[in-house]
Amino acid sequence: MNKLEPKYQYLLKESAPAILIETLKEYGVKEVIGSKHNPKVLEYFKSVGWGHIKDDETPWCGALLGYAVIKAGLVPPVTCIQALKWNNWGVRQSVAMLGDVLTFSRAGGGHVGLYVGEDETCYHVLGGNQSNSVCVTRIQKSRLSQIRRTNWKIAQPKNVRVIELGASGLISKNEL
């Protein structure tokens, strides 16, 4: 894993939710520029049943999240590579908390990632296909489609909470 920015180092001390932990393990994975493709991104597609996709230019935010959900012992949506299909996963919430799945609208489709914090105007989202990599980026709250939370098998982890962060860093406008 590449090093997290200092303001996100707290994530390395979190012990749950499992999908957050699994996604963090992928932090720093990047697309390969040109005719070659990152085998790790192709593995995300293969793990969720879309192994016929052979490039890392196809939007892969949903494939990464599906991969992490499977690694966490859960089941992603059947068409998890389509970001807005995550609107039918888990339990709908009105307040985002650590590890929640956030879906966003964007020109030409959607985007999906995990909540790791927020500031006044943006969610801080851990996800794939953000600046062509797995990283944390700020996405305007006004673009939010839904908040979805894992259907806990036993109980919600105690560390699932709202995390308030400073409003520093670029705001993503198109996660490609």
Q: What is the pLDDT of residue 2?
A: 66
Using one digit for the tens of pLDDT, what is the confidence trace for 67-124?
999 999 999 999 999 999 999 999 999 999 999 999 999 888 899 999 999 999 999 9
Using one digit for the tens of pLDDT, what is the confidence trace for 149-167?
999 888 899 999 999 999 9
Does any domain span residue 174? no
Does any domain span residue 16? yes
Does any domain span residue 176? no
Q: Check whether 173 has a pLDDT greater than 90.
A: no
Residue 94: domain span:
6-164
Does any domain span residue 128? yes
Average pLDDT on 134-143 reads 97
Q: What is the DSSP string of the chain?
A: -PPPPGGGGGGGG----HHHHHHHTTTT-BPPSSS---HHHHHHHHHTT-TT---SSS--HHHHHHHHHHHTT----TTTTSGGGGGGSSEEESS--TT-EEEEEETTEEEEEEEEEE-SSEEEEEEEEETTEEEEEEEEGGGEEEEEE---SS---TT----B----SPEES---
